[in-house]
Chain A
């Protein structure tokens, strides 16, 4: 007949033991060094986007220098509008990157507000531009009547308008992401230019002028449209990159956390978050780096709406996940400590009862694993205490106390001892169930030295 007796902890007890470990951990987003880093990166990102805009603007101005008089007049108002928008972008960059007292949350909210304001302005500007174009088209139509009487002049004017339209077409094709923001529009206008060219070649100057003028105006509108959309997108990309960099910085910052206590305060112990969560933190870091790469790549980068969604929805989710990972690591570390404490309480009780601590280890010397301790009595009896983790939120654990009596004596006495031990543990605050018969004791369970080795080196079949 078996001599082992087993005592296990009541499951309900764990909920109480782990109560405090449930609270989410503060991400410490507002670390000054982290905010500084992020601000610097965001500034560089926005500067890069601004310089792309500035380069394009000067290229446009170069093109305009060779354009006809009427075109230069036509573009004057648009140029004013774009200059105005450039100034605003610069102001926003300053607002987003130079206020040292902004918190990370405020920064993100400000970013979202600016993006939304910009979207409204862009839509408004484009609408006004479009209305203005309609007026310009009407005025040009009126001037057309003068030209038709002079075929030579008309042919010259038609060629000039065609050249300007072609220059604008080439500019758009070269400098602006027309396929991203206005797919097919440029191709349609190119057909119109070809039609106008056909008209010129056929001597139908009147029709050619009309088509060339209208095409130019539509190209000009398309250019402004694209310019505004692109600027909005670049601003959104800069902001999204900044927010992703923030997440990336937080992940780096959370690599090592302080240990938490039952009462939710922190202690001096260090939690290596990635190790405790078995790689969850590095997987999150890889995900964020992938997103950053994708956003930075012009060919793969998402659109403005997606970028806004990234800032608005995805970044908070990433942060939330980071928080959860850090919290999980803290909870796992705390649970491991509690396992040691529980084993310790049991050992204290057993020490008071004539047993001495013989050896103890976390299985495979891994704090994440089961804790095994063995106590030994003068008479050769041994008791093995196992506190094993149970995955979950919060993490739980099971306590097994197996006695290996070597001394002679009746089973009645062993029951009496097991019950007395259970009673003492309850007095210590460990809610255990009544002892049970534990079956034939497994001699391997007493070999603490073997359990100290990593599982793969024990040569056992699992």
Chain B
């Protein structure tokens, strides 16, 4: 196989996560993808280990060595092994990590006369799966590989948390790792593969070992800068890989794609919602014969209908200004996507948004639609929305906040991070943890700008203060990206309220409708413009009406006639007294 052909079998999410160009001698991989299968560019399914091997060989590494708890030192290919043979007679005997081969010759040739052990050793019945290298020698050997000039070497430590926990010579290993970081190893790399979902989990796992504090500090530094640091998160598969996955299943299991023109949309649906591993998709889709929107709707929640994001937005009540802005963004997104296809350099433009307005004005709903719009335009790989408030981001102890924040940001990668009541992050108090969280978010917005859209939301006046509090915020949330969600007009509020009652299966008497119009108008006129709840107020009103109606029909119909009375319409008398006041 030539180098060029080898290049063809890499998989994007692994290649992006593996920061070979960072120049660091110790790299880390973590995240949900480290335990996943990969559908590579050659449409072959591989686990992380062979995929990584392919990647490293194609990146020009002469020797790829693996270390795991069971086999502290082993190879996947004979070339790497042969490069590691030492001693003049080594080739005719054996190599580390390659099992047993020839024996020394005595007067009886290679005959074995040594009796087996008198009794089984160890007592635990533990079987070493192939590798019998002892930890101190493994470290000695790995160190010699890493420092050997002339042979470009990549060392992959699988399940590094377990490796550090179980390897007998952790102190020596920690020393060596320190040497590699400090002195450099001439283009060689050591790749630590962690199964932890977050970088903080990685750092914590290493710190728990006690002996590798310096390594934990190093990893912690790498984790801060997720775009350029030596630590890379391996995510779930993106659209391109999911598309290959569908083809792989078509070839392997005869999966039928009902409508080929919809293939891209199907991939989009698979990318939406809670991200799933390639293994999960392989498992799910290997059990169905046909692939269409209906099949997928069983697994992808939140998007049960066939409407596009724009169609959904159009159908929303009011929001005229929002719709105008979204249309503009959509056009721009399409142009950007086209520019990307043509290879035209993209103007450096921020896609982060600020939604201002009172609660209940549709900000969260629009955020979800924005995520889908961006995905449909190709600006985001998945377009899912992770909705959080300060409590989800900020911890109570020192060191707690970065972990929480990073975990949230990691979850939102390739989608939208919706920060509700974002202004709280600039408020003082809570030991400065709010600011700490905001700093991390700002860094990630910069570093992961191709994979992350942040929508900051809150009351209009508070958001104005928020943006003004930090020059970095204004840079990232330009004024043209601010969308004002005005309070609903009385007619719009009534329409929302009636929609809610209809959803509750209530018939509304015409006399009640008039009364409700007056109630809603009264509420609107008497509102506090800074805090009015809009749709939230309508939800409260709908609930109050429902309670009074229930009380009335139980009282008049009695338990026996309740079923028949369920069809009785809602009447003006079902409007609670407090709301009647508003109608005046």
A339 to B103, CA, bound (A): 12
Closest to A382 in B: B87
A358 beta carbon closer than 8 Å to chain B: yes
The answer on a CB contact under 8 Å between B117 and A428 is: yes
B94 beta carbon closer than 8 Å to chain A: yes
Q: Which segment of A186-194, A282-290, A419-427 sits at the interface?
A: A419-427
A396 to B85, CA, bound (A): 33
Q: Which segment of A94-102, A104-112, A259-267 sits at the interface?
A: A259-267
B93 beta carbon closer than 8 Å to chain A: yes
**A356 partner residues in chain B, CB cutoff 8 A:** 85-87, 89-90, 93, 95
**B112 partner residues in chain A, CB cutoff 8 A:** 341
Closest to B86 in A: A356
The answer on a CB contact under 8 Å between A337 and B137 is: no
User: Closest CB of chain B to A423's CB: distance in Å?
Assistant: 7
The answer on a CB contact under 8 Å between B134 and A355 is: no
A378 beta carbon closer than 8 Å to chain B: yes
Q: Which segment of A173-181, A220-228, A304-312, A346-354 sits at the interface?
A: A346-354
Of A269, A367, A379, the most chain B CB neighbours within 10 A belong to: A379
**Residue in A262, A357, A379, A423 whose CB lies within 8 Å of B140:** A379
**Residue in B90, B106, B136 whose CB lies within 8 Å of A337:** B106
B148 beta carbon closer than 8 Å to chain A: yes
A417 to B172, CA, bound (A): 11
A130 beta carbon closer than 8 Å to chain B: no
User: Closest CB of chain B to A16's CB: distance in Å?
Assistant: 6
User: Closest CB of chain B to A299's CB: distance in Å?
Assistant: 47
Q: Which segment of A146-154, A156-164, A231-239, A369-377 sits at the interface?
A: A369-377
The answer on a CB contact under 8 Å between A341 and B134 is: no
**Residue in A333, A420, A426 whose CB lies within 8 Å of B137:** A420
**B131 partner residues in chain A, CB cutoff 8 A:** 352
**Residue in A271, A334, A349, A429 whose CB lies within 8 Å of B118:** A429
**A360 partner residues in chain B, CB cutoff 8 A:** 89, 104
The answer on a CB contact under 8 Å between B96 and A353 is: yes
**B85 partner residues in chain A, CB cutoff 8 A:** 356
Proximity bits, B73-106, A CB within 8 Å = 1, else 0: 1000000000011111110011111001001111
A344 beta carbon closer than 8 Å to chain B: yes
**Residues B156-193 near A (CB distance < 8 A):** 168-169, 172
The answer on a CB contact under 8 Å between A352 and B97 is: yes
The answer on a CB contact under 8 Å between A426 and B140 is: no
Please judge, given known A-B contacts A351-B94, A420-B136, whether A377 and B108 are in contact too, CB under 8 Å. Answer: no
**A92 partner residues in chain B, CB cutoff 8 A:** none
B347 beta carbon closer than 8 Å to chain A: no
B584 beta carbon closer than 8 Å to chain A: no
A345 beta carbon closer than 8 Å to chain B: yes
User: Closest CB of chain B to A42's CB: distance in Å?
Assistant: 37
The answer on a CB contact under 8 Å between B113 and A334 is: yes
Closest to B89 in A: A357
**A347 partner residues in chain B, CB cutoff 8 A:** 93, 104
User: Closest CB of chain B to A430's CB: distance in Å?
Assistant: 8
The answer on a CB contact under 8 Å between A336 and B107 is: yes
User: Closest CB of chain B to A283's CB: distance in Å?
Assistant: 22
The answer on a CB contact under 8 Å between B118 and A16 is: yes
User: Closest CB of chain A to B300's CB: distance in Å?
Assistant: 50
The answer on a CB contact under 8 Å between A352 and B132 is: yes
A348 to B100, CA, bound (A): 7
Proximity bits, B339-374, A CB within 8 Å = 1, else 0: 000000000000000000000000000000000000
**B106 partner residues in chain A, CB cutoff 8 A:** 336-341, 367, 371
**B94 partner residues in chain A, CB cutoff 8 A:** 348, 351-352
A449 to B538, CA, bound (A): 97
Count of A interface residues, CB-CB < 8 Å: 57
Give the A-B pair count, Cβ closer than 8 A: 169
Proximity bits, B462-495, A CB within 8 Å = 1, else 0: 0000000000000000000000000000000000
B116 beta carbon closer than 8 Å to chain A: yes
B121 beta carbon closer than 8 Å to chain A: yes
The answer on a CB contact under 8 Å between B114 and A338 is: yes
**B118 partner residues in chain A, CB cutoff 8 A:** 16, 429
A350 to B373, CA, bound (A): 61
User: Closest CB of chain A to B356's CB: distance in Å?
Assistant: 62
A413 to B88, CA, bound (A): 26
The answer on a CB contact under 8 Å between B116 and A269 is: no
The answer on a CB contact under 8 Å between B88 and A358 is: yes
Please judge, given known A-B contacts A17-B114, A351-B96, A377-B141, whether A337 and B89 are in contact too, CB under 8 Å. Answer: no
B111 beta carbon closer than 8 Å to chain A: yes
The answer on a CB contact under 8 Å between A351 and B95 is: yes
A211 beta carbon closer than 8 Å to chain B: no
B144 beta carbon closer than 8 Å to chain A: yes
**B169 partner residues in chain A, CB cutoff 8 A:** 413, 416, 420
**Residues A372-395 near B (CB distance < 8 A):** 373-379, 381
Closest to A423 in B: B134
A424 to B144, CA, bound (A): 21
Closest to B83 in A: A378
**B140 partner residues in chain A, CB cutoff 8 A:** 353-354, 377, 379, 381, 407, 413, 417
User: Closest CB of chain B to A9's CB: distance in Å?
Assistant: 12
The answer on a CB contact under 8 Å between B134 and A378 is: no
A343 beta carbon closer than 8 Å to chain B: yes
The answer on a CB contact under 8 Å between A421 and B134 is: yes
**B95 partner residues in chain A, CB cutoff 8 A:** 351, 356
**Residues B114-142 near A (CB distance < 8 A):** 114-118, 121-122, 131-138, 140-141
B143 beta carbon closer than 8 Å to chain A: yes
**B104 partner residues in chain A, CB cutoff 8 A:** 340-341, 343-344, 347, 360, 371, 373
A371 to B136, CA, bound (A): 27
B38 beta carbon closer than 8 Å to chain A: no
B66 beta carbon closer than 8 Å to chain A: no
**B143 partner residues in chain A, CB cutoff 8 A:** 379, 407
A337 to B108, CA, bound (A): 6
The answer on a CB contact under 8 Å between B108 and A353 is: no
User: Closest CB of chain A to B190's CB: distance in Å?
Assistant: 16
The answer on a CB contact under 8 Å between A378 and B141 is: yes
A342 beta carbon closer than 8 Å to chain B: yes
**Residue in B108, B109, B115, B134 whose CB lies within 8 Å of A424:** B134
The answer on a CB contact under 8 Å between A355 and B132 is: no
Closest to B112 in A: A341
**Residue in B114, B122, B148, B168 whose CB lies within 8 Å of A378:** B148
The answer on a CB contact under 8 Å between A377 and B117 is: no
B524 beta carbon closer than 8 Å to chain A: no
Please judge, given known A-B contacts A356-B86, A379-B143, A413-B172, whether A420 and B134 are in contact too, CB under 8 Å. Answer: yes
B53 beta carbon closer than 8 Å to chain A: no
**Residue in A261, A352, A373 whose CB lies within 8 Å of B113:** A261
Closest to B141 in A: A354
A375 to B141, CA, bound (A): 13
State the A residues within 8 Å of B (CB): 16-17, 259, 261-262, 267, 269, 271, 333-334, 336-345, 347-349, 351-360, 367, 371, 373-379, 381, 407, 409, 413, 416-417, 420-421, 423-424, 426-430
State the B residues within 8 Å of A (CB): 73, 84-90, 93-97, 100, 103-109, 111-118, 121-122, 131-138, 140-141, 143-145, 147-148, 168-169, 172
Q: What are 25 pairs between A and B in contact, CB < 8 Å?
A: A261-B111, A269-B107, A338-B113, A340-B107, A344-B104, A351-B90, A352-B133, A353-B133, A354-B86, A354-B144, A355-B96, A358-B88, A358-B89, A359-B88, A376-B87, A377-B140, A377-B141, A407-B140, A407-B144, A413-B172, A417-B134, A417-B140, A421-B137, A426-B121, A429-B117
Q: A353-B140, A409-B172 are in contact. List 19 more A-B contacts (CB 8 A).
A: A259-B108, A334-B108, A337-B106, A340-B105, A340-B107, A342-B114, A351-B93, A353-B96, A367-B107, A377-B86, A378-B86, A378-B145, A407-B140, A413-B169, A416-B136, A420-B137, A427-B122, A428-B117, A429-B117
The 5 closest A-B pairs by CB, nearest first: A356-B87, A340-B106, A354-B141, A429-B117, A356-B90
